[in-house]
């Protein structure tokens, strides 16, 4: 699984801490991590939580990432921004139990974590435990296991609802403010990661046009 890490500007200084916790938890499981930044609070490409949501949606809809880890101070804004787009099911995760139940019950493809709220002594350990519980098993197996069938059925219903309520993502991208989107894709490693991993030719073309 390709896991993308995205930090918005208010919590950018924690990016190295989050990356280490994520890699420590998931690389032994065979997953890869792409750190899309922000990398420091002083980065020239400054991402708001809205732009973190745009970037997450671009990566997931393009098949350039299988999962997105993002967040903000409270995690709420990043979650709302991610869930504003088709192809994204983002959960708000504060602890390892949240992570495990979201993975097994809701089977989403993104999480938003509160990187400021309650982030004190042992904060990096809590992150590592969150990532371990999020990725240690295949998602969507149900919790408790005897509830797997109705939970999987509800996930399929949600996917069908999203297919009706959301427009085509490539069209959405073209209708958004161009500068807003270009800012979301302005990270120093975006182009090298995205174009190497993108699986959607139409979306790749749209992104190239935006960046040019």
Q: Judge whether 37 and 15 are in contact, CB under 8 Å.
A: yes
CATH class of 2-204: alpha beta
Helix axes 190-197, 201-211, angle to 10 degrees: 160
- The per-residue pLDDT of the chain, averaged, comes to 97
- Please state whether the peptide bond connecting residue 26 to the residue before it is cis, i.e. omega within 30 degrees of 0: no
Note the pLDDT of residue 130: 98
> CA 199 to CA 197: how far, in whole Å?
6
Tens digit of each residue's pLDDT (9 = 90 or more) over 152-163: 999 999 999 999
Tens digit of each residue's pLDDT (9 = 90 or more) over 99-127: 999 999 999 999 999 999 989 999 999 99
Tens digit of each residue's pLDDT (9 = 90 or more) over 185-202: 999 999 999 999 999 999
Q: pTM of the full predicted structure?
A: 0.97
- The arithmetic mean of pLDDT across residues 41-68, rounded, is 98
């Amino acid at each position: 699984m390709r896991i993308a890490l995205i930090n918005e500007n208010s919590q950018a200084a924690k990016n190295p801490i989050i990356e280490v916790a994520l890699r420590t938890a998931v690389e032994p499981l065979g997953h890869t991590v792409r750190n899309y930044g922000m990398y420091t609070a002083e980065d020239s490409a400054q991402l708001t939580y809205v732009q973190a949501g745009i970037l997450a949606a671009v990566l997931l809809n393009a098949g350039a990432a299988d999962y997105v880890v993002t967040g903000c101070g409270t995690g709420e804004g990043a979650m709302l921004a991610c869930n504003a787009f088709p192809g994204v099911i983002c959960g708000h995760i504060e602890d390892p139990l949240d992570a495990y139940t979201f993975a097994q019950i809701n089977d989403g493809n993104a999480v938003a974590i509160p990187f400021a709220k309650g982030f004190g002594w042992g904060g990096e350990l809590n992150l590592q435990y969150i990532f371990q519980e999020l990725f240690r098993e295949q998602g969507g197996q149900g919790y408790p296991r005897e509830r797997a069938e109705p939970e999987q059925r509800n996930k399929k219903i949600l996917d069908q609802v999203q297919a009706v309520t959301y427009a085509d993502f490539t069209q959405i991208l073209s209708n958004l403010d161009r500068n807003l989107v270009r800012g979301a894709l302005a990270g120093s490693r975006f182009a090298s990661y995205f174009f190497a991993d993108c699986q959607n030719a139409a979306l790749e073309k749209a992104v190239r046009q935006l960046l040019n």
